[in-house]
Homo-oligomer: A and B are copies of this chain.
Amino acid sequence: MKIAVLPGDGIGTEIVAEAVKVLDVLDLKFEMESALVGGAAYEAHGHPLPESTLKLAKEADAVLFGAVGDWKYDKLDRPLRPEQAILGLRKNLGLFANFRPAICYEQLVDASSLKPELIAGLDILIIRELTGDIYFGQPRGRRIATDGHFPGAEEAFDTMRYSRPEIERIARVAFEAARKRSKRVTSVDKNNVLETSQLWKDVMLDIAKEYPDVELDHMLVDNAAMQLVKAPKKFDVVVTGNMFGDILSDEAAMLTGSIGMLPSASLNSSNQGLYEPSHGSAPDIAGKGVANPLATILSAAMMLRFSLNQAEAADRIESAVKDVLASGLRTGDIWSEGTKRVGTREMGDAVVAAI
């Protein structure tokens, strides 16, 4: 078994180092190999996703990813910006199924913007389609408009598209996930406006017939953005397209108030996967040793479970994280009165000790 380790930029290197430490202590048989990605790869090789990094990722069973991006690359042409690395990995590895849990840990309820009774016990699983939609749809570009409001003017355009089999496969992922949970799926679309969403909804209804034990309901994306704020605990498994999923999964993550705790997994049809924290590269605190490594450590646990067939080791990591929280250790992002503030490395050490 081989893991490609891609720490990336900003706090990426610090948090991935802690996850690697945790993986090491499990004493399992796998190889880890690191490579540069994002801004770090651009600096060294002139490209955010160099051929060698892509090759390593493709050949590995799983990719452990930190974070990419920094304000200083904002002026680069889009194809050279750090985020393109993550889009390139998703596309080239065919990672169509993104799992984004939004979980509110018992001890961290107070970190949320929401009133405790609305958020305590939250456990949503957002399943976002990750290789289709307007993210990758061709054609796209700039041109002179020949119709619309201002024919003759410069315009830019993108194409939202989904094909039936693309929707079918993500639907099945969602229904399978729901079978292991509360047996409810909420499919989010904008079928009152978009052709793409109408097909999305039609296909969800078709695939639902294969899963008579799972209840399916549909929600418009604007309403979903509202209901997440109003009554987040009413959701269980949510399935949606790439664009809406980008927005809603971040909204849901922030509802918990502890985005520094939330892992994610992006899988292809052979269970090869990329695992990364839900938060970003946080260049403002990079190098200070204060970032929260727990989302990355929990991403490593997801990796063991989904791609490396080591569910037991995953359980060990997850309960170690719970123990560490229970013992009162907190990084700055989740610190509150009465708990002990620790740095990135101490937090990683504590998880290792708890294992």
Encoded as 1 (CB less than 8 Å from any B CB) or 0, chain A from 140 to 157 comes to: 111001011110011111
Chain A interface size range: 35 or more
- Known: A157-B159, A165-B150, A196-B156. Is A250-B230 also a contact (CB below 8 A)? no
Interface check A28, CB cutoff 8 A: no
Interface check A59, CB cutoff 8 A: no
Q: In the complex, which residue of chain B has the Cβ closest to the Cβ of A221?
A: B247
Chain B nearest CB, measured from A238 CB (Å): 14
Complex contact B226–A251 (CB within 8 A): yes
Q: In the complex, which residue of chain B has the Cβ closest to the Cβ of A202?
A: B156
Complex contact A222–B195 (CB within 8 A): no
Interface check A25, CB cutoff 8 A: no
Residues of B within 8 A of A87 (CB): 193
Residue from B118, B160, B161, B250 in contact with A226 in the complex, judged by beta carbons closer than 8 Å = B250
Complex contact A153–B135 (CB within 8 A): no
Residues of B within 8 A of A145 (CB): 161, 163
Complex contact A226–B254 (CB within 8 A): yes
- Known: A115-B115, A251-B251, A253-B226. Is A164-B157 also a contact (CB below 8 A)? no
Q: In the complex, which residue of chain B has the Cβ closest to the Cβ of A140?
A: B195
Interface check A35, CB cutoff 8 A: no
Chain B nearest CB, measured from A174 CB (Å): 18
Complex contact A134–B160 (CB within 8 A): yes
Interface check A246, CB cutoff 8 A: yes
Q: In the complex, which residue of chain B has the Cβ closest to the Cβ of A247?
A: B225
Interface centre among A81, A87, A222 (most CB of B within 10 A): A222
Interface check A53, CB cutoff 8 A: no
Interface check A162, CB cutoff 8 A: yes
User: How many angstroms between the C-alpha atoms of A143 and B257 in the bound complex?
Assistant: 43
Residues of B within 8 A of A166 (CB): 149-150, 153
Residues of B within 8 A of A26 (CB): none
- Known: A165-B149, A193-B87, A222-B250. Is A158-B160 also a contact (CB below 8 A)? yes
User: How many angstroms between the C-alpha atoms of A251 and B257 in the bound complex?
Assistant: 17
Chain B nearest CB, measured from A302 CB (Å): 21
